[in-house]
């Protein structure tokens, strides 16, 4: 059975190779090849899953050693896979949502002449993401990590004729490099500390390692997670990444790739468990991003950017949960999975709306679309209810668990974290209601575009609606399915461990509080956007709104601190290079030249002076020889 | 007294004086086969003199070139034959009653000298570079060396189409001396060999066809300073004889390391006196350092290299250096190993000032031949670093470096002969500006040689320098290696400057032209390039050869 694991990766990898190398003759069949191979990977995953369910909880993990990548004395790098419950969860999420989004893309990208290439990149992404989650060592994980970064770069910039897309791709790539640096440093630290980077030995050895080293590794891993999962301070790329086609935003920048940071932290749980300082850094990052993303999401009029802010915020929840340690690991992953369903569904819904609205993204120019796109409205609406945590839907369970776990952390820390997560839930309810109201309710606000084409909103084709419906099912039922009888906890416990913590307040109280903030959030949004007509041109807004529209000045901050700072640094380096380094070099050269000119004068052409110099040389030679003996 | 008796005087002076008069004379044994390379070359040189005397003038050039090339080829074949018979390794021995060693280093160096001489002789024989004068093709040498420059006699000689074909036997004599020099196994043979190869060189320097006064000035300077240094060498030999009672290398070596205790009664006052040993050793060293052109005994080098006819410069720069370093190695490893620690600091000093001095002064040179002269001084310093290593690796690295360096040098000077204007060779650097635009191939070949001189990887210069520096570092002379690397960096400046000048400067309107040479010079240059690249890309075989040859017989 373990021999199937490599096939998980092989199927999409083959697809990528065929589609990217196959050339134009595959243009007509390319999207089918890509979709079938993605589905094949899902089927293999499902087979492996049923097989895994048939075994006891403790021996569910499978290993497959493919080959020795770098077999050097003292440095063993293997291409080997490990499929345990945690990896399995991701495999099903990635291949499942991935396949749905492949299907969706068939319709969405129908009129794009580079559709084959798009599917090639999607398959490449799937292969890399699968390597990331089933690698059995950090080095191979790094291969997948870089692979998804590459695929993300290629897909954000897929419409490379748009300068904004090209810039966004470059920005994502550059910001991710910072995080990747963290991962590579973490791997190097692991190698020097443990002498290996395979998960098993590294995570087992954490008990005997000093906290300082674990903290260093943990902080570097957190840096990596921040880059890939768009967490503060490396969050700035995610909003711009919405320049990519919407299926990409759904798959890569909502459901799967951006959650790789959560996977990394949960997978490295043993390291963080031994490094409380690193854990604290993780929860701080999670809490800050949770609010940051939510605030940004409130102010955006671009539907995809509002959703991107939401993604950032929801991943903040997951990171925060992962930082709580064994209390939170399971819930981080659970929220990750439910979020994968409802956020992918929301993005696909947004794409469906854009598809019907001539690619308009400004929500102020939507309005009243529920009549024109009933299926989209329904599925989007279910996703909306799930994300705000409407009782009984997926988000309700998973988010509630995280809020409870935050309180269960105990002490002041627990109260602060719990309050932050509650506040986040309120803001989430607000901005998602805003999105919902602006898009589907109220008066129609769309106008003819510059060329006089008035949009004719219509429902999307079946290839697009069916994936949305499937995801809506997930949004509705996944949370309940996971939570009833603590199914998900029991499933992941053997890998991540679980701890109930000491909740200072009862679960019922937390749930009640959540419900209260939920209602407040929805009510405020309704007062602001539902009760009265929405202006087509955004009002000036308060200082906070204006800052949030500019992503809370993240780019300004980066510009001032990093770009300007970098420019100053390079300028001063250039100055040092010109004056000091060149000065030394040129000075040396000049002094050599001067010395040369002076020594040259000794060569005056007279044999007599040459003879004198020889005589002097001989005298010195003899004297020195005798002197050496005397000494 | 017969010649053989004189010979035994050199080697066994002590015994002869103590032998009672009237003893039967015993003939010395001479291993002719083992001395074949030297004998062939000397025989051909003598034949060459006869050719000058008896062969009609018109046929002399062809005859001499043929004779010289055949002699050198035959001598090389003899060297290869000896090496194949194992004389380079297990059968190494001392021939001619202890006068000449036939061992690995000797054969390796003799082979190198012969090959380098062969390609040098090709440039001697080049007659297509200058335009024909009065219907006669001319080479680099004066029509009649004895005529006063600018006199009517000279004009008549030019008009009559004379050339100095004596250069070929002179070169052969010089080669013969060079073959003996690194093989000499006693001090008097060393001295005779030195004179045999030096005197013809003095003459060769004086016979340039153009700029004759400069050529003659160079020859006189070379002769005067050479005589001066020979005096030191000879004085040193006398002192060492006084110290050891013998001039044989092995004999002196034994006294130095104390394995001979018996005092010769005739030398009771001096034998074993360390002052004599140290002063004598220093003086002999000085004589050899003069020949290799080490600072501060280098001052003849730029003047002589510049004044001498360029083919002679190439020959001298390459072959002399091989022979002189060979002799220096044998002296240090066979005669004076017991003095290693006494001589080391002095040799360090000489190597450092040689490397730095050569490299620094070269920076401001404006004449390509003087530039190459200073470059050769810097290279002498690099080789000295390997000599100082005092290890088998040191010996083999020096052997390898010498082989590498000599071919590149001959090739480089051969290229210099090609770049000409109305006044003959255009050696001023300013005239080389833009050469790469006008004659890309010539400039590229010269660039290859310069890169090899600079020791850039993938050229033979790098392999050689690496071998020498590695041996020096392993031998505990890391400081020397540091200085060597710094000097290499300084030296790289002026080598690269010439390349920049050739390829990145605008050609001058009245710039020189590149003459199209005959296949002779082309062969010389091609061999230089081939050796540069082959020994740069795949040096291992030759490094192995050098390390097999790296054991001196005692």
**A509-529 confidence digits (pLDDT tens):** 999 999 999 999 999 999 988
Tell which of B243, B363, B371, B500 to mutate to test the A interface (max A CBs under 10 Å): B363
Tell which of A598, A601, A617 to mutate to test the B interface (max B CBs under 10 Å): A617
For residue A594, the chain B residues in CB contact (below 8 A) are: none
> What mean pLDDT comes out for the span A89-93?
94
Dist. CA B464–CA B380, nearest whole Å: 12
Q: How many A/B residue pairs have CB atoms within 8 Å? A: 89
Average pLDDT, chain A: 90
pLDDT digits (tens, 9 = 90+) for A252-290: 988 899 999 999 999 999 999 999 999 999 999 999 999
Question: What pLDDT sits at residue B21?
Answer: 54
3-state secondary structure of B268: coil
Asked if B35 reaches chain A (Cβ–Cβ under 8 Å), the answer is no
Rg (CA), chain A: 30
Contact A596 B360 (CB under 8 A): yes
> 10 Å Cβ neighbour count for A217?
28
> What mean pLDDT comes out for the span A391-411?
90
Find residue A135's DSSP bridge partners.
Answer: A81
> What mean pLDDT comes out for the span B47-73?
94
| Residue written as token pair 């003939």 | B27
Average pLDDT, chain B: 90
For residue A617, the chain B residues in CB contact (below 8 A) are: 286, 295-297
3-state secondary structure of A216: helix
User: Residue B13 above 50 pLDDT?
Assistant: no
Contact B282 A621 (CB under 8 A): yes
CB nearest to B225's CB, from A597, A607, A621: A607
For residue A604, the chain B residues in CB contact (below 8 A) are: none
Contact A603 B299 (CB under 8 A): yes
Give which of A11, A69, A79, A77 is closest to A45, Cα–Cα.
Answer: A11
User: Residue A91 above 50 pLDDT?
Assistant: yes
Contact B302 A603 (CB under 8 A): yes
> What mean pLDDT comes out for the span B275-280?
90
Residue B160 in any domain: the answer is no
Find residue B420's DSSP bridge partners.
Answer: B425, B513
User: Residue A530 above 60 pLDDT?
Assistant: yes
The residues on A that touch B, with CB distances below 8 Å, are: 589, 592-593, 595-597, 599-600, 602-603, 605, 607, 609-611, 613-614, 616-618, 620-622, 624-626, 628-629
Distance from CA of B283 to the nearest CA of A (A): 7
For residue A603, the chain B residues in CB contact (below 8 A) are: 299, 302-303, 361
Question: What pLDDT sits at residue A69?
Answer: 85
Dist. CA A207–CA A273, nearest whole Å: 10
> Among residues 265-284 of chain B, which lie with CB inside 8 Å of chain A?
274-275, 278-279, 281-283
Nearest-CA residue of chain B relative to A585? B490
Residue B157 in any domain: the answer is no
Q: Tell me the backbone φ, ψ of residue B65, rounded to 5 degrees.
A: -60, -45
User: Residue B18 above 60 pLDDT?
Assistant: no
Contact A625 B275 (CB under 8 A): no
Tell which of B354, B360, B486, B490 to mutate to test the A interface (max A CBs under 10 Å): B360
User: Residue B5 above 80 pLDDT?
Assistant: no
First to last CA, chain A: 81
pLDDT digits (tens, 9 = 90+) for A177-212: 999 999 999 999 999 999 888 998 898 888 888 999
Would you say A440 and A377 are in contact if contact means Cβ atoms under 8 Å apart?
yes
Residue B153 in any domain: the answer is no
Tell which of A585, A604, A624 to mutate to test the B interface (max B CBs under 10 Å): A624
> 10 Å Cβ neighbour count for B5?
12
Residue B210 in any domain: the answer is yes
Q: Return all residues near B186 (Cβ < 8 A) that are at least 6 apart.
A: B10, B11, B98, B99, B247, B248, B249
Tell which of B364, B373, B497 to mutate to test the A interface (max A CBs under 10 Å): B364
Q: Which two tokens stand for residue A233?
A: 């301070």
Q: Please list, residue by residue across A228-249, b when 16 or more beta carbons sit within 10 angstroms of its beta carbon and e when fewer do.
A: bbbbbbbbbbbbbbbbbbbbbb
> What mean pLDDT comes out for the span A431-456?
85
> Of the segments A30-34, A327-331, A621-625, B408-412, which one has the largest average pLDDT value?
B408-412
User: Which has more pLDDT, B339 or A85?
Assistant: A85
| ipTM, interface predicted TM-score of the complex | 0.89
Q: Which two tokens stand for residue B405?
A: 């360096």
Nearest-CA residue of chain A relative to B300? A610
User: Residue B1 above 70 pLDDT?
Assistant: no
Question: What pLDDT sits at residue B399?
Answer: 95
- Full residue range of the structural domain in which residue B94 is found: 3-130+166-553
Would you say B79 and B37 are in contact if contact means Cβ atoms under 8 Å apart?
yes
Residue B138 in any domain: the answer is no
Would you say B263 and B271 are in contact if contact means Cβ atoms under 8 Å apart?
yes
Domain count, chain B: 1
For residue A609, the chain B residues in CB contact (below 8 A) are: 299
Three-point CA angle B412, B416, B419, nearest 5°: 140
Between the CA atoms of B311, B315, B318 and B322, what dihedral angle is there, to the nearest 10 degrees? Answer: 180
For residue A621, the chain B residues in CB contact (below 8 A) are: 282, 285-286, 346, 350
Sorting pLDDT into bands at 50, 70 and 90, what band is B513? confident
Question: What pLDDT sits at residue B9?
Answer: 47
> What mean pLDDT comes out for the span B361-390?
93
Contact A614 B228 (CB under 8 A): yes
Question: What pLDDT sits at residue B133?
Answer: 78
Sorting pLDDT into bands at 50, 70 and 90, what band is A167? very high
Sorting pLDDT into bands at 50, 70 and 90, what band is B4? low
Would you say B88 and B104 are in contact if contact means Cβ atoms under 8 Å apart?
yes
Distance from CA of A591 to the nearest CA of B (A): 10
Residues in chain B: 554
User: Residue B554 above 80 pLDDT?
Assistant: no
> What mean pLDDT comes out for the span A90-113?
92
Contact A613 B296 (CB under 8 A): yes
Dist. CA A353–CA A371, nearest whole Å: 12
Contact A610 B225 (CB under 8 A): yes
Between the CA atoms of A295, A301, A307 and A311, what dihedral angle is there, to the nearest 10 degrees? Answer: -30
Distance from CA of A585 to the nearest CA of B (A): 11
Contact A626 B278 (CB under 8 A): yes
Residue B36 in any domain: the answer is yes
Question: What pLDDT sits at residue B106?
Answer: 94
Residue B150 in any domain: the answer is no
pLDDT digits (tens, 9 = 90+) for B409-462: 999 999 999 999 888 889 999 899 989 988 999 999 999 999 999 999 999 999
Query: A385: number of CA atoms within 13 Å, CB side?
Result: 16
For residue B346, the chain A residues in CB contact (below 8 A) are: 621, 624-625, 628
Distance from CA of A595 to the nearest CA of B (A): 7
Residue B379 in any domain: the answer is yes
Question: What pLDDT sits at residue A602?
Answer: 85
Contact B282 A622 (CB under 8 A): yes
> What mean pLDDT comes out for the span B78-93?
90
For residue B274, the chain A residues in CB contact (below 8 A) are: 629
Sorting pLDDT into bands at 50, 70 and 90, what band is A501? confident
Q: Which two tokens stand for residue A258?
A: 């951006």
Lowest average pLDDT, out of A50-64, A240-254, A444-458, A556-570, goes to A444-458
Sorting pLDDT into bands at 50, 70 and 90, what band is B22? low
Beta-sheet strands, E only, within B338-461: 419-421, 424-425
Tell which of B291, B296, B343, B497 to mutate to test the A interface (max A CBs under 10 Å): B296
Give which of B304, B320, B319 is closest to B208, Cα–Cα.
Answer: B304
> Among residues 326-355 of chain B, which lie with CB inside 8 Å of chain A?
341-343, 345-346, 349-350
User: Residue A107 above 80 pLDDT?
Assistant: yes
> What mean pLDDT comes out for the span A140-161?
94
**pTM for this one?**
0.64
Find residue B421's DSSP bridge partners.
Answer: B424
């Amino acid at each position: 059975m373990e021999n199937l694991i490599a096939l998980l990766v092989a199927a999409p990898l083959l697809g990528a190779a065929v589609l990217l190398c196959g050339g134009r003759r595959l243009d007509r069949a390319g999207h089918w090849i890509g979709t079938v191979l993605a589905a094949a990977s899902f089927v293999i995953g499902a087979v492996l899953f049923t097989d895994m369910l048939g075994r006891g909880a403790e021996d569910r993990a499978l290993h497959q050693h493919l080959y020795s990548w770098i077999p050097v004395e003292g440095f063993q790098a293997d291409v080997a896979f490990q499929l345990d419950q945690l990896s399995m969860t991701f495999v099903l999420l990635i291949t499942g949502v991935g396949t749905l989004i492949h299907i969706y893309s068939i319709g969405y990208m129908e009129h794009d002449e580079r559709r084959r290439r798009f599917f090639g990149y999607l398959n490449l992404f799937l292969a890399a993401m699968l390597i990331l989650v089933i690698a059995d060592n950090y080095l191979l994980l790094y291969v997948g990590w870089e692979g998804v970064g590459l695929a993300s770069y290629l897909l954000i910039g897929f419409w490379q004729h748009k300068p904004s897309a090209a810039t966004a791709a470059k920005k994502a790539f550059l910001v991710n490099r910072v995080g990747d640096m963290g991962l590579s440093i973490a791997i190097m630290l692991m190698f020097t500390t443990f002498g290996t980077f395979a998960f098993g030995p590294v995570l087992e050895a954490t008990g005997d390692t000093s906290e300082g080293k674990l903290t260093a590794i943990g902080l570097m891993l957190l840096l990596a997670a921040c880059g890939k999962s768009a967490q503060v301070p490396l969050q700035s790329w995610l909003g711009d990444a919405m320049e990519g086609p919407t299926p990409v935003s759904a798959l890569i920048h909502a459901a799967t790739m951006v959650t790789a940071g959560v996977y990394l932290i949960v997978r490295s749980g043993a390291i963080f468990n031994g490094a409380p300082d690193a854990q604290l850094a993780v929860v701080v990052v999670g809490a800050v991003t949770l609010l940051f993303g939510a605030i940004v999401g409130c102010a955006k009029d671009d539907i995809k950017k509002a959703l991107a802010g939401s993604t950032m915020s929801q991943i903040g929840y997951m990171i925060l949960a992962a930082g709580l340690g064994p209390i939170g690991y399971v819930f981080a992953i659970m929220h990750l999975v439910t979020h994968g369903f409802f956020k992918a569904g929301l993005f696909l819904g947004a794409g469906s709306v854009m598809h019907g609205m001539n690619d308009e993204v400004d929500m102020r120019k939507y309005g009243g679309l529920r009549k024109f796109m009933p299926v989209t409205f329904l599925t989007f609406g279910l996703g909306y209810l799930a994300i705000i945590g409407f009782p009984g839907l997926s988000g309700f369970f998973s988010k509630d668990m995280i809020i409870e776990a935050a309180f269960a952390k105990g002490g002041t820390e627990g109260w602060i974290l719990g309050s932050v997560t509650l506040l986040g839930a309120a803001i989430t309810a607000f901005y998602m209601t805003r999105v919902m109201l602006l898009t589907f309710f109220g008066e129609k606000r769309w106008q003819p575009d510059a060329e006089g084409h008035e949009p004719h909103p219509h429902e999307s084709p079946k290839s697009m609606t069916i994936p949305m419906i499937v995801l809506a099912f997930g949004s509705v039922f996944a949370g309940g399915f996971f939570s009833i009888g603590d199914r998900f906890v029991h499933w992941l416990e053997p890998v991540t461990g679980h701890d109930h913590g000491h909740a200072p307040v009862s679960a019922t109280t937390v749930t009640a509080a959540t419900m209260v903030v939920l209602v407040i959030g929805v009510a405020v949004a309704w007062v602001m956007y539902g009760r009265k007509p929405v202006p087509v041109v955004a009002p000036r807004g308060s200082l906070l709104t204006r800052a949030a529209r500019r992503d809370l000045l993240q780019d300004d901050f980066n510009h001032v601190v990093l770009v300007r700072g970098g420019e100053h640094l390079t300028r001063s380096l250039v100055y040092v290079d010109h004056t000091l380094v060149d000065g030394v070099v040129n000075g040396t050269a000049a002094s050599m030249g001067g010395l040369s000119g002076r020594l040259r004068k000794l060569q005056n052409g007279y044999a007599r002076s040459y003879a004198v110099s020889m005589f002097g040389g001989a005298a010195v030679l003899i004297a020195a020889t005798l002197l050496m003996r005397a000494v | 007294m017969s010649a053989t008796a004189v010979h035994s005087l050199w080697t066994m002076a002590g015994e002869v004086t103590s032998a009672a008069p009237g003893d039967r004379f015993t003939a010395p044994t001479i291993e002719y086969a083992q001395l074949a390379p030297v004998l062939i070359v000397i025989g051909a040189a003598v034949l060459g003199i006869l050719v000058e005397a008896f062969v009609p003038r018109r046929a002399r050039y062809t005859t001499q070139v043929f004779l010289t090339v055949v002699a050198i080829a035959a001598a090389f074949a003899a060297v290869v034959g000896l090496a194949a018979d194992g004389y380079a390794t297990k059968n190494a021995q001392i021939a001619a009653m202890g006068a000449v060693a036939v061992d690995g280093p000797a054969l390796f160096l003799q082979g190198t000298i012969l090959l380098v001489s062969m390609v040098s002789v090709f440039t001697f024989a080049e007659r297509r570079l200058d335009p024909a004068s009065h219907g006669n093709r001319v080479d680099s040498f004066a029509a009649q060396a004895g005529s006063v420059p600018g006199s009517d006699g000279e004009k008549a000689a030019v008009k009559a189409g004379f050339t100095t074909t004596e250069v070929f036997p002179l070169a052969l004599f010089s080669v013969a001396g060079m073959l003996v020099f690194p093989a000499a196994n006693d001090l008097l043979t060393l001295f005779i060999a030195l004179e045999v190869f030096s005197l013809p060189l003095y003459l060769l320097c004086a016979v340039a066809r153009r700029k004759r006064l400069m050529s003659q000035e160079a020859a006189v300077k070379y002769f005067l300073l050479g005589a001066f240094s020979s005096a030191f060498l000879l004085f040193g030999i006398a002192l060492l004889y006084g110290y050891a009672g013998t001039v044989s290398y092995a004999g002196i070596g034994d006294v130095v390391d104390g394995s001979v205790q018996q005092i010769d009664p005739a030398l009771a006052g001096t034998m074993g006196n360390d002052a004599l040993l140290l002063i004598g050793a220093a003086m002999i060293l000085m004589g050899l350092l003069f020949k290799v052109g080490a600072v501060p005994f280098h001052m003849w080098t730029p003047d002589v290299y510049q004044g001498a006819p360029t083919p002679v410069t190439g020959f001298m720069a390459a072959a002399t250096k091989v022979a002189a370093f060979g002799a220096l190695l044998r002296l240090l490893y066979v005669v004076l190993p017991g003095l290693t620690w006494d001589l080391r600091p002095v040799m360090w000093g000489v190597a450092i000032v040689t490397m730095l001095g050569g490299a620094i002064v070269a920076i401001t040179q404006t004449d390509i031949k003087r530039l190459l002269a200073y470059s050769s001084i810097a290279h002498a310093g690099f080789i000295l670093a390997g000599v100082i290593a005092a290890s088998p690796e040191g010996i083999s690295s020096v052997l390898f470096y010498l082989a590498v360096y000599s071919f590149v040098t001959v090739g480089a000077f051969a290229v210099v002969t090609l770049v000409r204007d109305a006044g003959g060779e255009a050696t001023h650097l300013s005239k080389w500006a833009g050469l790469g635009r006008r004659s890309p191939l010539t400039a590229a070949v010269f660039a290859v040689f310069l890169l090899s001189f600079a020791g850039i990887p993938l050229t033979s210069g790098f392999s050689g320098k690496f071998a020498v520096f590695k041996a020096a570092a392993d031998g505990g002379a890391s400081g020397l290696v540091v200085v060597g690397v710094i000097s290499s960096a300084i030296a790289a400046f002026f080598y690269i400057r010439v390349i920049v000048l050739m390829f990145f400067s605008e050609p001058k309107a009245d710039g020189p032209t590149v003459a199209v040479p005959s296949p002779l010079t082309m062969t010389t240059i091609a061999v230089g390039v081939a050796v540069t690249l082959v020994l740069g890309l795949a040096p291992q075989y030759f490094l192995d050869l050098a390390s097999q040859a790296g054991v001196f017989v005692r």
